[in-house]
């Protein structure tokens, strides 16, 4: 509380320098103050963090978890520090949430990374927000962060609108069955047609994609997925579509990780344009998730009754 006014200080958004552009957009939409989590790296690999010395009771921390192994220690330290500096309600805004794929042990002794990361985040935050998490056998983010509030947002409708503007009448194609939920959501608003492909994974870097026997000849096709990592699935799908006579093939994804030479491989496969949201900073960013995050934060920041 402010002694001068007797009113609670407004919420604050904390962010790291490498995600400042998105954080500034979110804060501007909310009318919140945004402050940087300052970092200093020591020669031995440790990091010193510095937060604003006096935090309001309601604080949100924006941190995407691409390259998660390098970021999780800093994230958990920042969350603990925020508590000591005055935060009573703490939300994690993680546009890209890592370690969501492994939700069961496929062989005896495997660590179920989704479950363990979820428990860590639940211990640090009252609320975890993310965009298009890769949930398969788990249906809601609430299950991932036990006892806490999980908020799942989707950029698929935003991507669908973007595609409709750039390629009117495009045929949307899901590169595998798991992507059907996003392609269906993207197609719904602008009324685009879509197909769902079948994927057979042969290894970490080898997949085989089968496109349904529909006529794609002469069509402008856009492959749409939640995440592009190595890009192998999209590359194989693009090659198949080109062989089947697609006039053009473009790619739209929520999370553009594009590991290694993924982007170059897509271009070599005949992909014309690659579009992504700014959930992960990348040169292909064309659609912002800031409005989604701002709306969700505004709803969360309302004090509980």
The secondary structure of 115-136 as a DSSP string is HHHHHHHHHH-SEEEEES---S
The reply to whether 199 belongs to the active site is yes
Q: Tokens 């975890």 belong to which residue?
A: 128
Please say whether the beta carbons of 254 and 155 come within 8 A.
yes
> How far, in Å, CA of 201 to CA of 250, rounded?
22
Cβ contact 86:56 at 8 Å: yes
Exposure pattern of 93-131 as b/e (b: 16+ CB <10 Å)? bbbbbbbbebbeeeeeeeeeebbebbeebbebbbbbbbb
Dihedral sign, CA of 211, 212, 218, 219? negative
For residue 258, which of 291, 287, 290, 281 has the smallest C-alpha distance?
281
- The answer to whether the CB of 222 falls within 8 A of the CB of 197 is no
Could you tell me if 224 and 195 are in contact, meaning their C-beta atoms sit under 8 angstroms apart?
A: no
CA pair distance 14, 265, nearest whole angstrom: 36
- 58 has which bridge partners? 89
Q: What is the dihedral of CA 228, 14, 113, 255, to 10 degrees?
A: -10
What does DSSP say about strands 206-210 and 198-203: parallel, antiparallel, or unpaired? antiparallel
Q: Of 25, 134, 199, 219, which residue is the catalytic one?
A: 199
Closest by CA position to 61, among listed 92, 85, 86 = 92
Active site residue ranges: 199
């Amino acid at each position: 509380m402010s002694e001068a006014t007797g009113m609670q200080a407004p919420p604050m958004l904390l962010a790291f320098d490498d995600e400042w552009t998105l954080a500034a957009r979110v804060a501007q939409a909310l009318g919140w103050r945004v402050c940087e989590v300052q970092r200093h790296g020591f020669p031995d690999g440790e990091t010193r963090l510095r937060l604003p010395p006096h935090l309001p009771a309601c604080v949100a921390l924006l941190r995407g978890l691409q390259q998660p192994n390098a970021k999780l220690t800093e994230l958990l330290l920042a969350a603990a520090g925020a508590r000591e500096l005055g935060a009573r309600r703490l939300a994690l805004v993680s546009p890209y949430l890592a370690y969501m794929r492994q939700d069961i042990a496929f062989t005896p002794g495997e660590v179920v990374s989704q479950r363990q990361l979820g428990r860590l985040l639940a211990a640090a935050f009252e609320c975890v927000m993310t965009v298009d998490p890769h949930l398969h056998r788990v249906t809601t983010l609430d299950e991932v962060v036990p006892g806490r509030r999980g908020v799942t947002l989707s950029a698929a409708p935003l991507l669908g609108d973007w595609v409709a503007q750039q390629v009117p009448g495009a045929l949307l194609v899901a590169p595998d069955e798991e992507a059907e939920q996003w392609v269906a959501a993207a197609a719904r608003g602008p009324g685009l047609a879509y197909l769902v492909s079948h994927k057979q994974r042969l290894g970490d870097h080898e997949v085989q994609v089968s496109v349904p026997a529909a006529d794609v000849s002469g069509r402008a096709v856009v492959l749409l997925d939640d995440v592009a990592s190595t890009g192998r699935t999209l590359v194989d799908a693009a090659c198949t579509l080109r062989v089947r006579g697609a006039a053009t093939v473009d790619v739209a994804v929520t999370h553009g990780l594009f590991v290694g030479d993924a982007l170059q491989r897509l271009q070599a496969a005949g992909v014309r344009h690659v579009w992504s949201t700014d959930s992960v900073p990348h040169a292909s960013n064309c659609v912002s998730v800031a409005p989604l995050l701002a709306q969700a934060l505004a709803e969360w920041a309302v004090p509980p009754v």
